[in-house]
């Protein structure tokens, strides 16, 4: 039996492998300037190879991914330290391509071929990851953050409020007599109606705030950057008024009201569970005083 080692491929075979690879291969000089790109790159992006020649590799990367990648490329060029990193390449239509790039120093004495970055398209993998994240953290019916994401954001905001002395508000919202809508129009209409309600709630709050669906017809709003407790009341009134406008759904005009309870940190509670409980209790007080209303927790309430 022949025990000899297989011979390495010839230069011509290496060239063939590079030029037919679907991966994007870029060669840089010791200053990080592109000296070669494999045919797959200009073909995919509909540019000529000359468009890349002499440019900095980092210039083609999505601006949000550049800072970390720049450090990796510097370590590669200065210390020969390889890296593997995910990054985005912007496309002409405003979207981007997710790539996994592997940078390595080339065993060559050619100063124009100091290092190479081999990149493969991982866009489908990223889309799959995003879908899994959406399933885990967003309500499938309304697209709003679900209870799990609410708890994550709530915990983070509460820690920030404690550390920096910021105020944090909770508005707990329940649709009044929503069961009647399901009974009258059917559950499929009820689901579509909840989607319309969620969209209206989303557009009723301010940019830094968050609205989450935490139950069938229950929603919680996390509110930041307000000065007084009366500000919570003003936001609650705006939400109530937004929902008071009739909804048009498949030829039906449907009206709904809601009850909202509010509480704020730190004056109404010393911890997150207590704050949520007091906002929830305040919501039931709003229902007691006639629904289509709001009630803010005050000391002395249960």
The residues annotated with a catalytic role in the active site are 217
Q: Which of 229, 273, 256, 245 lies closest to 173, judged by CA?
A: 256
Residue 57 and residue 67: Cα distance in Å, rounded? 13
Number of CB atoms found within 10 A of residue 208's CB: 11
Q: What's the Cα-to-Cα distance from 273 to each of 71, 151, 263, 279, rounded to whole Å?
A: 43, 11, 12, 10
Cis bond leading into 266, ω under 30°? yes
Look-up of token digits 């940078």: 103
Residue 99 and residue 25: Cα distance in Å, rounded? 12
């Amino acid at each position: 039996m022949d025990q000899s080692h297989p011979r390495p491929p010839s230069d011509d075979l290496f060239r063939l492998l590079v030029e037919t690879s679907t991966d994007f291969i870029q060669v840089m000089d010791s200053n990080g300037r592109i000296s070669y790109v494999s045919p797959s790159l200009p073909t995919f992006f509909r540019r000529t190879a000359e468009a890349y020649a002499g440019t900095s590799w980092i210039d083609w990367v999505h601006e949000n991914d550049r800072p970390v990648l720049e450090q990796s490329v510097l370590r590669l060029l200065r210390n020969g330290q390889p890296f593997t990193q995910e990054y985005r390449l912007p496309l002409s239509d405003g979207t981007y391509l997710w790539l996994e790039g592997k940078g390595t120093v080339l065993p060559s004495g050619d100063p124009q071929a100091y290092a190479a970055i081999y990149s493969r398209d991982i866009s489908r993998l990223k889309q799959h990851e995003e879908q899994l994240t959406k399933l885990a953290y967003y309500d499938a019916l309304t697209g709003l953050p679900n209870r799990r994401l609410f708890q994550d954001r709530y915990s983070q905001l509460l820690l920030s409020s404690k550390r920096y002395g910021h105020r944090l508000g909770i508005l707990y919202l329940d649709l009044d007599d929503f069961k009647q809508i399901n009974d009258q129009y059917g559950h499929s209409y009820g689901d579509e109606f909840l989607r319309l309600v969620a969209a209206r709630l989303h557009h009723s709050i301010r940019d830094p705030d968050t609205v989450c669906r935490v139950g069938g017809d229950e929603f919680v709003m996390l509110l930041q950057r307000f000065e007084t407790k009366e500000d919570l009341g003003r936001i609650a009134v705006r939400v109530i008024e937004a929902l008071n406008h009739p909804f048009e759904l498949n030829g039906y005009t449907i009206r709904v009201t809601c009850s909202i309870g509010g509480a704020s940190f730190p004056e109404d509670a010393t911890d997150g569970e207590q704050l949520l409980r007091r906002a929830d209790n305040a919501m039931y007080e709003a229902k007691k005083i006639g629904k289509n209303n709001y009630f803010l927790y005050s000391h002395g309430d249960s």
